[in-house]
Structure 1
């Protein structure tokens, strides 16, 4: 089993089903094995691959801090901590678990998370 197939099997966002797209569950066109089209593959990886997820979160949040509306420099925070999974392909990078924060808001969030 490939890494992506294993991740699809565990992921709450994916829809693993024989003969169907692992993202949208549409029937697979001839010659396709996991995704019915490139858009579905891109959507899956935006939620699992840290560099893509980070970029997608900033784009979704219109390149502004979601807490104060501030601008750069921006960082992307895991709402539920990823415990060092930044360099891995992981479900911790689902877009609903990410928020764009300015550095001061990220520092405040991290400090308050460590004390609670």
Structure 2
């Protein structure tokens, strides 16, 4: 007599792998660490402007070539596709003063002081 799982193509030896996969789907988000920011990061608010410009703290600033912007979910956004007003951000500047990295903050991150979010091992 064949087992029900054999008929579905799921053999008994694959069940532990399936269990591990399902457990990982639920446990990995809970293990996600806070985003570490470099010690040179600054805090401000960001609004959109025509690319390659960006408005930080009400002042129009230049985005560096290859600038990266991470949204609240820590996914990279294309600078030209962002349409926001007054979003709290952490950002860094390159040697020429252009904005090279921007992290849009979650409400929880925005409530934390910047110095608690920085990691001295980053640049």
What is the TM-score normalised by the length of structure 1? 0.26
Higher strand content, 1 or 2: 2
What is the TM-score normalised by the length of structure 2? 0.25
Structure with higher RCO (Cα < 8 A, 6+ apart): 2
